[in-house]
Each structure stands twice: as C-alpha cells, then as structure tokens.
C-alpha cells in the first residue's frame, strides 16, 4: 500500500511540475500555439521513445548483463566438473554397452572447433548409453554421489544458477539419480524392472551431464586456452588421461 502511495505522490509531483512550467511559459510568451506544437510533437515521439529506451536498449543491457553473469557462473561450473563432474562422467560411461563408441564420439581434442562441439551436443541429445546395470555395479556410483552430495547441495544454494537453466537441469537429473539410489536400503536383489528404471535415470543424467560438459569445454577453448589444454589432457573420455604434456 505504501509503495502505491509513493508512486501516486511522485506522479502527482511530476504532473503538477509540468503544468506549472507550461503556465510559466504562457505567462512569459503568451503563445499557446507554440505550446501546442511542442506538446503534440513530444506526445507523438513518446511511443517511439518508450520503444527505444524501454525495449531495445533495456533488452541489450539485460543481454550483456546476462552474458557477464554466465561468464562468472562458468567458474562455478568448472568447480563442479573438477570436484564431481569428471568423476561422474567416467562412472556413467562405464555402464554403457557402447562405452568405446561413446568415448570416441565425445573425445575432445585441440583440433575441435565450433562445428565439432555443435555436432557433439546434437549427439548428446540423441545418443543413448544403452546402460547395463546390476546391483554390484551400482555400489560405486551410490558411494560417489553420496560423498559429493554436500558439495552439490552447496552449489544449489547459489541463486544465480537459476540463470543457467541447462546446468540447473543437469544438477536436478544428478540429484534425482542420487535420490533413487539412496532411497533403496540395499541394492542387492533388485528386480529387473527396477534396474531398468535406474538405467533410465543414468541415461538422463549422462545426457545432461555430457551436454553441459561440452558447452563448458567450448567456453574454455574460446576464453581460457590454458585451462582447455589441461582439460584435453585429463578428461575421462579417453583411454589414458594424463596431465603430463607429451
């Protein structure tokens, strides 16, 4: 209520000020014709001014602010992949019946350009892992997600992540996989239908994870070549990752 009253008072002050200035103009020059010409001209320009200032310029400024925020958020994304994402990628790929093919498709090298990254992201949406899971193989995944849960929960406390929809969706998919595994007291003796359900959760998490990883690595190549060089040498989608420069 107070906010509406404040705006009403401000509007009244501006309208009264405008009226007083017009009266002062008439009192000095006694020329209503001149007042009407400029009044109509200003009113005619008002819609264009609102369009230029309120829509075009505001949208451009908002877009620049969003891009600057996303660049800063890539620091958070990098922390995620260093702490959790790279280990999780390696673990999820191990469940695939096509692990060698998956690694070949997404094995980023220094020769990759925008075209290769774009094709890889398309494949990430279309290509399934064709996961094979059993009770014993799920234990390491459950342990990994359980150990990294506090770190991921801390990431979700960052309100700016809401601006990065893809990364937020990926985190939710990973959290859902973690919750599915944590909800089962024991992974032994699970029926085939339940294992198939968990395999679907693994595929969803991998699809979103690899998509965000590709976007992050492409960003590094464009903005931080020295970080990109390390990622190329150490990422898990290769047979023998090593930090040592050969």
Region 62-86: mean pLDDT is 80
Could you count the other beta carbons within 10 Å of the beta carbon of residue 100? Answer: 11
Domain ranges of the chain: 2-60, 72-234
161/182 Cα distance (integer angstroms): 25
Give the pTM: 0.74
Tokens 């990628």, residue located: 89
Region 193-216: mean pLDDT is 93
pLDDT one-digit tens code per residue, 232-244: 999 988 888 888 8
Query: Cα-flanking dihedrals φ and ψ of residue 96, to 5°?
Result: -85, 140
CB 54 within 8 A of CB 44: no
């Amino acid at each position: 209520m107070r906010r509406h009253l404040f705006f009403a008072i401000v509007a009244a002050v501006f309208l009264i000020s405008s009226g007083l200035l017009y009266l002062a103009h008439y009192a000095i020059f006694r020329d209503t014709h001149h007042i009407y010409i400029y009044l109509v001209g200003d009113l005619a320009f008002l819609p264009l001014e609102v369009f230029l200032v309120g829509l075009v310029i505001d949208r451009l400024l908002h877009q620049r602010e969003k891009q600057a925020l996303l660049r800063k958020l890539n620091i958070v994304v990098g922390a995620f992949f260093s702490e959790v994402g790279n280990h999780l990628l390696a673990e999820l790929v191990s469940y695939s019946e096509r692990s060698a093919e998956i690694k070949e498709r997404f094995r980023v090298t220094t020769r990759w350009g925008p075209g290769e990254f774009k094709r890889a992201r398309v494949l990430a949406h279309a290509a399934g892992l064709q996961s094979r899971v059993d009770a014993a193989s799920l234990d390491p995944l459950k342990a990994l997600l359980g150990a990294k849960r506090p770190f991921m929960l801390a990431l979700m406390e960052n309100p700016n992540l809401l601006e990065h929809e893809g990364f937020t969706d990926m985190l939710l998919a990973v959290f859902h996989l973690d919750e599915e595994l944590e909800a089962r007291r024991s992974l032994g003796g699970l029926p085939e239908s339940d294992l198939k359900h968990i395999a679907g959760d693994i595929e969803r998490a991998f699809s979103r994870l690899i998509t965000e990883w590709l976007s992050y690595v492409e960003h590094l190549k464009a903005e931080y070549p020295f970080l990109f060089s390390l990622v190329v040498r150490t990422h898990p989608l290769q047979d023998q990752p090593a930090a040592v420069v050969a």
